[in-house]
Amino acid sequence: HMGIRASAINDLQRSKSSLEALFCYDKAVPEENIGKPAGLDLEKKEVGKNPPCVRCETKGAVLCATCAGSGLYVDSIMESQGIIVKVRCLGCGGTGSIMCSTCGGRGHT
């Protein structure tokens, strides 16, 4: 009985720390080391006879509004101290685009 509970608590702590890892800032990356956002593929999808999604125009993804598609944003706390630090955007995980919520990434409605 006690063993089951301990392992459940362990699982909880494990998933909590992996969640925290997702939300922790990445270390600041020097600008020249930042490539193009690897992002979601913004190629138009083949939608066949399905009505194309008007929001993403069949791409299945839209530009991330938080970073305007750059995948990075300036840390405002650091900026207020006169230090410009670009961190990976948490909105899109640094990809520059997010899945279109209108079509769920399918490219059609």
Report DSSP letters for 29-69, one per residue. --GGG--S---S--SPP--TTSPBPTTTTTSSEEE-TTTTT
Residue 63 lies in a domain: yes
Residue 95 lies in a domain: yes
Q: How many CB atoms lie within 10 A of CB 98?
A: 21
Distance CA 96, CA 37 (A): 6
Q: How many CB atoms lie within 10 A of CB 45?
A: 20
Q: Which domain holds residue 95?
A: 26-99
Residue 9 lies in a domain: no
pLDDT at 98: 94
The radius of gyration computed from the CA coordinates of the chain, to the nearest angstrom, equals 19
pLDDT at 24: 46
Residue 77 lies in a domain: yes
- Report mean pLDDT in 10-residue bins for the chain, 109 residues: 60 54 48 50 81 93 92 88 89 93 93
pTM of the predicted structure, to 2 decimals: 0.52
